[in-house]
Structure formats: structure tokens, C-alpha cells
A and B are shown apart, each in its own frame.
Chain A
Amino acid sequence: MGQDLVNAISLGSIYLLFALGMSLAWGSIGILNFAHGSIFMFSAYVAYLILGHVRLGIFAVLAIGAAVGAAMSVAIEVLAFEPILRRAKDHRTAEMQILIAGIGIASIPLAIAQKQTKSNPFGLSDSSFQVHTYAFAGIRITNVQIIVVVAAIVLGGGIAWWLHTSRNGLALRSIGVDSEVSSMMGVDRRRLALLTMLIAGALAGLSGILLTYQLGAITPESGDSLILKAFAAIILGGVGSIIGVVVGSYVLAIAETIVLTQTSGLWVDAVSFGLILVVLLFKTEGLFGHKEVRRT
């Protein structure tokens, strides 16, 4: 039971780290970035390539992941999403176009990594950081799991606090409420959008590095399978609510772990997503979403 709880919290933290960046961009500036999975994967891939030449510790590798993720995310915003937003007649039309563009853009880093690795798994074992396991009271936990859980909670809480208390956070939330009015109030939407995508990309890169340490190895396709989980966690928690995505990630992970321990592993996705469907039938805006159309 205790081990199952540790596994569920660890899994939920992975989902949260991945979903946080997606939720931030979607909930504030209205960009649902389906290239998030590719950014996550490619950040880890670049770190893997660098480690082939120089041995680095975990913090240096995390910095590389965050930097690569941030750079990719900003580049996608400037080269793809901004032009779409400029040309679209309204934001709703732009949202669908951005979604499709994200799927298309995601295939580029995926194809590069697939070609170079021949879809073989790659990891960060050349790093000087070593995984250690600690056992107490019949429960086993690794140092990576501890880092993942702490990082998820600190980053989740930190971003929620930043959005609600800082000047930039409040400005970002105002864009989510009404972009036009916030511009008239002097909010620089473009600057904040770039900042948001930079943070979202950095979060994707961080989660890519941490997950690769946790799993030991990922493949070029690993990011794609997490997109659906992240999407589910965001919808369950409520679009636009960072606290919602925190709760949604852990609820999803706990539901999956309970299903796994009680039935065959084949029912995990069916029951987990069925639970989300049930929640949405009774609360369409998600657990922490708001009834009116407000993003933050």
C-alpha cells in the first residue's frame, strides 16, 4: 500500500511536470501547444548528445534541458504561432490553426531524433549523477523520485503564486480574461506571450531531463504518449487553473495506480479516462475551472 502510494505520487509528479508548461500556455495566452511533447523529448536528446562529449552533473544537465526547451518554444512562437495569430480573424479560429500547426511542428524534432537514434532508446547514463535507492519501512524510493516530486510541487506552487501575486503574472491573467482590453490597459501581449512560451518550454525541457533520469531511457516517441495524459490532467483540473492541473495530475496518477493494483494493467487508460468523463458530466469546467469564459 505504501509503495503503491509512493509510485502514484511519483507518477503524478511526472504528469504534473509535463502538463505544467502546456497548462500555463493554454490557460493564459490561449495556445494549446501540441509540440510540447517534442520539445520535452528533444531537450533530453540534446542533453544526451552533449553528455557523449562531456561528463556533467544533474544541475548542468537540467540547465541544458531548460535552455533547449525554452529556445525551441520561443522559436515556435515567433516563427509559427505569432504569424497564425496575426492572420486569423479571431482567437477561436487561431486556436484550431495553432493546434494543427503544433502537431505538424512536432514531427520535425521527432523525425530528426528518429533518424539519428534509429528509434533506439537513449538515456543520460553518461552523466556523473548516480541514482540511489533508499529503503525504509518496506518502502523503496530513489533520489530521482524525490527530486521529481519536490520539483513538481515547488514548480507547480511557484507558478501558481507567480500568476497570482507578481505584476507579470497578473498581466498574463488579464490577457486570458480579455486580450484586447488588457492591451488598452498597457499590457504588452507579445512580450508576455514570449515570456510564457519561454517558461513553458523550459518546463518541458526540465521534465524531459527528469523523466529520462527516472526511466533510465526514452525514445523519440516518448513525448507523444505523455501529451494525452497531460491533456487529460488539464481538462480534469480545469483549463486555466494551475492548482487544477496539480490536482488533475495526481488524481489521474492515483486512479491509474488503483486500477493497476485491482485489475489487469489493460484497464488503466479505459478506467482513468472514464473517471474524467464522469467528472466532466457533472462539472463541465473541470474540478477547479470557472463557469464563465475566463482562462485564469
Chain B
Amino acid sequence: MTGQRRRNVLRGVAVLLSAGVALGLSACSSGSSSSSSGGTSGGLPKQIKVVAVEPQTGPAAFAGLAALKGYDVAINEINTSKYLGDSTIVLDKKDTAGSAQTAASEVSSAVADKNTTAIFGSVSSNEAVAQSPIAQKTKVPIIFTQAGSQGVVIGGYTFRCTPPMATYYTKMTDFTKPKGYKTVGVVYAAWSPTLNEIATKTLSSMGLNVVASVGTQQTTQDFSAPISQVLAKKPDVVSILLVGASNPTAMKQLRQAGYAGPVLGNSGASAGNLKPAGADGAGMVWAVDYSALNKSPSSEKFIAEYQKKFPGETPLNYAAEGYDAAWWLARALKDGNGAAHDVVQQNLAKVASTGFTGAMGDLKFEGNDLRLPGVLIQWDGTKEVLLPST
């Protein structure tokens, strides 16, 4: 072997060894402690391990990170109040990085760990539909928030602590009917199962005639052409059903195209996503399951707990959903007095059958799926405003 070739081989070996050490270290650091158990037959273990697999980076990170905050607040409250006696919940957070493959892989790792009691699944429908069958098949309870599409709550071990958007979006009739809107033109993210359903089914079920409907792809960044298509049909009102940064872009381009009226949006425009649109964002209205502007006693209690941990911050609906999901699990653990998967699953279903009061109010369930009437929010250009209910 020549000197240069030997150096190249040694260099390659060094790179492989470094990569191997790095992988080994990261695997060790994410390893679970041995004192928790997801499979004990009776009594709660000292540490109850729950894995949260959420997008902490990527397009849905704004919702995933907020959900994690909700879990943190609830678990902190559960542990410090000794709600589960001497047992504490330990939350292990994993990032899906906005990838369904990564989301599935992380859930696979979680279910393979016998110490995992339950899983909090992804807020993103695309990721959740990949995670759900894994948890169901391996009979590990998984609780989702958001993720409102079909194919998420698919069996006895899958639960959702967010009502599907289609079940509360009809609250928008409180806004559209008094204004006498008969026709609507919609630009929507066709790649999102949730928004696809709202655009293609829910709007027309609200008594609106959809005169123009343009689906956009995930790669679409310029909405001028879809907006022109919709405005050409002169609808009474325009609906923009997009995710994240697409909302301020579409609102700006809608106003530049000459449309000045209200816009029927969705909660994907929340979390300050409309701020870059400035004054052009004003007038978007959407239905949401929870708003911190709601001054009910349960909401105020949640906000107070939230602000103990995150001073000066107003919780988003994603945080409230995460909070209630964690308390749902805590109730099931306490009622069943066990962390075995089947015990937790049975008691999650039992708690759902009776309902409970959480941050989002009096929670009622249809099977394993939450139902709430919803509230209406309007963006005034600088902040969200709660619209009165009729």
C-alpha cells in the first residue's frame, strides 16, 4: 500500500470511528433509566416514563413546541402536588424534525422501550398517521393533540385531546350567517388532510356555496395566481386555509389583489403567524378549540399555572391541549393505579366516557376523541380578539 493510499485509508477509518462514537454517545444519552416501568402489573412505579414525539423544528414546530410547554406545565403540577402519590411522571422529548419517517422511527423506539408507559403523539397529521398504527399494533397508549385528520384515532390504544377541526369549524356560521354570506372562494393547502376536509366538505356544510376552490401544494410560496382565480368568481367572502408562513403571504397578496373584506381562516394562522402581514393580516377570522382570551375559571387557572413556568407568556391553544392531554393521562394512571399499557388504556377510555374539566373547559369525548364547541378569533392586525358567541 503506498503512503498516500495508507493515509487515505487511515483518514477514512478515523472518520468512521468518530461517527460511530458520536452515534453511540447520542444513543447512550437518550437511554432510559431503569427505575420506571411501563409493564408493571399493579401499583404505580416510582418514575412513570412518557415519551413526547413532537416537531420541535420544521413547519409545525410552532405547534409542537407549544404542546410540549403544555405537557411541561401539567406534569410539573401533577408531580409537585403529588397527585400520583410518590410517583412522578418523567417526560422524554423527541423531535420529529417535521418528517413522518422520523416521527414513526421515534415512536418505534419508544414502544420498543419497555419502560415507556404512554406516548404523546405528533401535532402534525402527516406524522400522526405514521405513528398511530405503530402504537396501536404494539398496544402502547398514544395520545395526540391537533392531528385532526382521518387515520389518527384508529383503535382502542389511540386517543386525541383535540377535537378535529371539522367538528368545531362550523362555529364559523356564528360569523358568516349574520353577515349574509352565500358564496365563498377558497385557497387551501391541499396537502393537509385537515384543511383539505374543511375546504372540500365543511365549508359547504355550513350553507356556503363554494364558487371557486384552488388547492395549493406544499411547495407553493406565491399565491397570486390562486388568489386571482378565486377573486375572478366574485365570491361574497374569501377563505384562506393555509399553514404557517403561507398565511401572511396569502393575506398580503389578497389585499394587493383588491379584496378588502373579512377572510375565513384556520388556527394555522395563530401563534403570531400573521404578524409579518402587518395591517394586511387584519380581518382574518378562525374557529379554535381554545383561546387564552376566554375568561372561564378553568382557563384562568391554567393560565396562572402556565405563567408560573413561563412568565409573561400567553399560552396558545396547543399548550392548553397538551396540558389537558397530560392531565387525562394522570387521571387514568391514578384511577387504574398501574402503569401497565392495558391498564392505562382502559382507564383513559374510562375517563373519556365521563369527561373532566380541563384548561379548555368541560371536556366531552366521542369515543377516544375530544369534542368542544369552539370559539371564534379575529386578527385585528396586531393581536387576536375573541369574537362574542351567539
Contacts and interface: CB of A to CB of B under 8 A. Distances in A.
Co-assembled chains A and B? yes
Interface stretch (A8-16, A72-80, A154-162, A242-250): A8-16
B385 to A, nearest CB: 20
B276 A119 contact: no
B101 interface: no
A100 to B, nearest CB: 14
B190 A266 contact: yes
A226 B65 CA distance: 27
B57 interface: yes
B219 A264 contact: no
- Chain B interface extent, by class: 35 or more
Nearest to A228: B219
Nearest to A216: B252
Contacts of B218: 225
Given A3-B228, A4-B228, A131 B271 contact: no
Contacts of B245: 120-121, 217-219, 222
Contacts of B252: 131, 215-216
A118 B217 contact: no
A269 B190 CA distance: 13
B232 to A, nearest CB: 8
B58 interface: yes
B222 A11 contact: yes
B262 interface: no
Nearest to B213: A264
Given A215-B252, A216-B277, A265 B190 contact: yes
Given A114-B57, A133-B256, A216-B280, A120 B271 contact: yes
Interface string A195-229: 00000000000000001001111110110011011
A268 B216 CA distance: 9
A216 B248 CA distance: 7
Contact of B273 (A120, A260, A269): A120
Interface string A62-75: 00000000000000
B225 interface: yes
A129 interface: no
B222 A216 contact: no
B215 A266 contact: yes
B215 A214 contact: no
Interface residues of A, number: 44
A284 interface: no
Interface string B256-286: 1110000000000001110111101000000
The CB with the most chain A CB atoms within 10 A, among B215, B225, B226, is that of: B225
Interface in A104-148: 111, 114-115, 118-123, 125, 131, 133, 135, 140, 142
A37 to B, nearest CB: 12
A182 interface: no
Contact of B62 (A11, A115, A120, A140): A120
A42 to B, nearest CB: 16
A261 interface: yes
Nearest to B219: A225
A268 B218 CA distance: 11
A257 interface: yes
A217 B277 contact: yes
A178 B60 CA distance: 47
B57 A115 contact: yes
Contact of B221 (A111, A122, A215): A215
B62 A118 contact: yes
B244 A260 contact: no
Contact of A111 (B57, B216, B251, B276): B57
Given A120-B244, A261-B229, 5 more contacts: A120-B272, A121-B273, A215-B221, A216-B280, A256-B225
21 contacts: A7-B222, A7-B224, A10-B222, A11-B222, A119-B60, A121-B244, A121-B248, A121-B249, A123-B276, A125-B278, A140-B257, A142-B256, A215-B249, A216-B249, A221-B59, A225-B219, A264-B213, A264-B215, A265-B220, A265-B226, A266-B217
